[in-house]
Amino acid sequence: MTTNGVLQILIFFALVLLATKPLGSYMARVFSGERTMLDPILGPIERFFYRLFGVDEHGDMPWTTYGFAMLMFSVVGGLLTYLLLRLQGYLPFNPQHFAGKDMSPDLAFNTAVSFATNTNWQSYTPEATVSYFSNMVALAVHNWTSAATGIAIAVALIRGFARHSARGLGNFWVDMTRGTLYVLLPVCVIGVFLLIWQGVPQNFAPYTQATTVEGAKQIIGQGPVASQEIIKMIGTNGGGFFNANSAHPFENPTPFTNLLEMLAIFLIPAGLTYTFGKMVGNSRQGWTLFVAMTVLFAIGISTCYWAEAKGNPNVARLGVMTATTPAQPGGNMEGKETRFGIAPSALFATITTDASCGAVNSMHDSFTPIGGAVTLLDLMCDETIFGGVGAGLYGILMYAIIAVFIAGLMVGRTPEYIGKKIEKFEVRMAILAVLILFASNVFFTAMASNLNLPPGKNSVTITDANKKDEPRLAASMASWNHVNSSSPSVFEGGTYNNVNNGGPHGFTEILYSYCSATANNGSAFAGITANTPYYNATLGLAMLIGRFLMIIPLLAMAGSLVRKKVIPISAGTLATDTATFGVLLAGVVVIVGALEYFPAIALGPVVDHLNMLVGKLF
Amino acid sequence: MQDALFIAVTIIFFAVGASFTRGCEKLYQEDSDA
């Protein structure tokens, strides 16, 4: 670890801290329906949308209506995306002539669900399969709407605490519209020009054919990159214009864009903690959540940076100098961009997995086992460490309810939070949400680690020698694990064959994939061939479960809280606006996460690390 | 054929979500009545 590296991390966090109060305060005004400085410009547009879609902007919705509206909007959006991807060959802005067959049905399902749920897992290779039209209309639109949906759900949950003796949680359509127009749009407009200034392309030109200095032909992908890039980060979506994501020099060309992109990920999730405090009438409550998130973030980044800076001892044993010198960064540089180095790569990895963004500027599969474990544990914390836009706030509030309940049991205090009595129903809903996420992760991981689809244990690649067997293999169950668009055809057979590494590292690749999908993160650990019907379908299901079956119990909790009366603070009330509660909350997240996932972590990164120490690598 | 399968899966999931919503509300009513 270097002073320079530590300083970069501290400067990043100081900037997040500086932005939290003004942005949070602004968002509180937006979602309280108060006038903002953007009203003269955006007010007429907002009202136009309400008139166009027949929205009664003053109509309050009970939680069930709010939930149905959210579900309906997401499912219809997902289905439209599916159709657009399958029909892209007939649609405009397609200079590379990508066709519907480039997006097979399972891949289109995975992609549509992925973007509708704010996951942005990419089984497809963007620059080789989707047209500009698909990128802009089918995919980038979801970057806006899925992010605004997350914010709307968080705001509904805040109202559950802020209002009392009521039924309504607000209006989903109004919250969505205001989130998009007043929050996402202005921040993106500023950010997109900064990215273009730094060299990120924004055009509709066909890909450029270049000849390299060795004489080889190279096709250079481009397009409307900057506009997708900024919302990808601000909306914690994470789906890159290029397969290499933010490691690609067209997506993230300079150290300044790297800082900008990292800030963009944390900006709204951090601001929403202050919005929460402001809307419930006690900004200290919001800062307490911020403290809990900061504690968890600090543990993650310090561990990840330490592990990556320390590097792999086996490399040193080979006589390679791994120390940091003015001429080399030292540590573990595998899978990292030399223009960023270790600290910004470890920081980006921690931020993106904390915040459920999924953009990457380095390959997590190449991290040391401990560094990789940090990214995995972040995903397992259920979007609580700043989290996705909106998702982070409702995730930490889910744990706050559990923390209040546990504290009540430990010290004999009445479980209360923000003046509301926490009873059986709220605790049930919070626990249900936690368990649903856990069940999705372990069930799908266990299945993929053991499912022995024909033709057997080993991968089967169809070559000239065994080509006559292809119809038999294709007709069997193996087609569920056939790698899409592979030429020659590759049938992986057992779903555990899709990993590039054996042993605990391979297990981690599978576990990470499902944790990433369920947490709606979308980053890939890499090292896994997931573009097969089996993985596309099951990862898609994990994303749906992780998004909607978490939101519904939390909305139900909000629906219960909003109907309650405010109870006065008494001697038996546990103070929840103190740093002590913030630390307790962070502890509950760690303990619940550790208890749930300890066996899986032990089988994956822990065994991987212990093997590395004795010289065995996977 | 596969298109129909994946569209059906998405719609079925919506139905599951709607049913889950109603189930949570029912549970709330039962808890309130108890």
Residue whose C-alpha is closest to residue A576's, from A395, A333, A414, A335: A414
Q: What pLDDT score was predicted for residue A467?
A: 73
Higher pLDDT, A427 or A573: A427
CA A524 to chain centre: 10
CB–CB contact A75 B10 (8 Å): yes
Residue A72 touches chain B, beta carbons under 8 Å: yes
Q: What pLDDT score was predicted for residue A455?
A: 64
Residue whose C-alpha is closest to residue A483's, from A526, A527, A448, A532: A532
CB–CB contact B17 A556 (8 Å): no
In which band, very low, low, confident or very high, does the pLDDT at A297 lie, cut at 50, 70 and 90?
Answer: very high
In which band, very low, low, confident or very high, does the pLDDT at A457 lie, cut at 50, 70 and 90?
Answer: low
Nearest chain B residue to A480 by CA distance is B2
Q: What pLDDT score was predicted for residue A527?
A: 85
Q: How far off is chain B from A549, nearest CA to CA, in Å?
A: 7
Left (φ > 0), alpha (ψ -120 to 50) or beta: where does A527 sit?
left
CB–CB contact A68 B24 (8 Å): no
Nearest chain A residue to B33 by CA distance is A425
User: Is residue A478 pLDDT above 70, yes or no?
Assistant: no
Residue B23 touches chain A, beta carbons under 8 Å: no
- Judging contacts by C-beta atoms under 8 Å, the chain B residues touching residue A556 are 21, 24-25, 27-28
Residue B8 touches chain A, beta carbons under 8 Å: no
CA distances (Å), A417 to each of A34, A72, A339, A421, A585, in order?
Answer: 26, 31, 46, 7, 13
User: Is residue A456 pLDDT above 60, yes or no?
Assistant: no
Nearest chain A residue to B30 by CA distance is A425
8 A C-beta contact, residue A235 and residue A389: yes
Nearest chain B residue to A548 by CA distance is B17
Q: Please give the mean pLDDT across all residues of chain A.
A: 90
8 A C-beta contact, residue A146 and residue A238: no
What is the C-alpha separation between A43 and A37, in angstroms, rounded?
A: 10
Instruction: Tell me which amino acid residue A414 is.
Output: T
- Judging contacts by C-beta atoms under 8 Å, the chain B residues touching residue A79 are 7, 10-11
Percent of chain A with pLDDT over 70: 97
Q: Where are the beta strands (DSSP E) in A325-469?
A: 416-417, 420-421, 460-461
Residue A188 touches chain B, beta carbons under 8 Å: no
Nearest chain B residue to A555 by CA distance is B21
Q: Is A426 helix (H, G, I), strand (E, B) or coil?
A: helix
Q: H or E segment at A220?
A: strand A217-220
CA distances (Å), A465 to each of A336, A475, A482, A573, in order?
Answer: 39, 19, 18, 75
Average the pLDDT over A305-330 and give the result: 87
Residue A106 touches chain B, beta carbons under 8 Å: yes
Residue A559 touches chain B, beta carbons under 8 Å: yes
pLDDT tens for residues A318-365?
Answer: 888 888 888 888 889 989 998 899 999 999 999 999 998 889 999 999
User: Is residue A294 pLDDT above 70, yes or no?
Assistant: yes
Residue B30 touches chain A, beta carbons under 8 Å: no
8 A C-beta contact, residue A24 and residue A280: no
Q: H or E segment at A208?
A: strand A208-211
CA distances (Å), A606 to each of A35, A588, A598, A601, in order?
Answer: 53, 22, 10, 6
- Judging contacts by C-beta atoms under 8 Å, the chain A residues touching residue B10 are 75, 78-79, 82, 109, 112-113
Residue B11 touches chain A, beta carbons under 8 Å: yes
User: Given B2, B11, B17, which is nearest A552 (Cβ)?
Assistant: B17
Residue A414 touches chain B, beta carbons under 8 Å: no
CB–CB contact B24 A553 (8 Å): yes
In which band, very low, low, confident or very high, does the pLDDT at A458 lie, cut at 50, 70 and 90?
Answer: low
8 A C-beta contact, residue A331 and residue A342: yes
* Residue with token string 């400067």: A11
In which band, very low, low, confident or very high, does the pLDDT at A459 lie, cut at 50, 70 and 90?
Answer: low
Long-range contacts from A28-37, C-beta under 8 angstroms, 24+ separation: A28/A274, A28/A275, A28/A278, A28/A279, A30/A178, A30/A179, A30/A182, A30/A183, A31/A155, A31/A158, A31/A170, A31/A175, A31/A178, A31/A179, A31/A275, A31/A279, A32/A279, A36/A182
- Judging contacts by C-beta atoms under 8 Å, the chain B residues touching residue A424 are 31
Q: What pLDDT score was predicted for residue A569?
A: 81
CB–CB contact A71 B18 (8 Å): yes
Q: What pLDDT score was predicted for residue A23?
A: 95
What is the C-alpha separation between A13 and A300, in angstroms, rounded?
A: 13
CB–CB contact B14 A72 (8 Å): yes
Q: Where are the beta strands (DSSP E) in A378-484?
A: 416-417, 420-421, 460-461
Within a 13 Å sphere around the CA of A580, how many CA atoms are in the beta-carbon half?
A: 5
Higher pLDDT, B32 or A445: A445
In which band, very low, low, confident or very high, does the pLDDT at A129 lie, cut at 50, 70 and 90?
Answer: confident
Nearest chain A residue to B18 by CA distance is A68
Nearest chain A residue to B31 by CA distance is A425
8 A C-beta contact, residue A359 and residue A265: yes
Q: How far off is chain B from A83, nearest CA to CA, in Å?
A: 9
Residue whose C-alpha is closest to residue A470's, from A457, A494, A486: A486
SS3 letters for A468-506?
HHHHHHHHCHHHHHECCCCCCCEECCCHHHHECCCHHHH
Q: What pLDDT score was predicted for residue A262?
A: 95
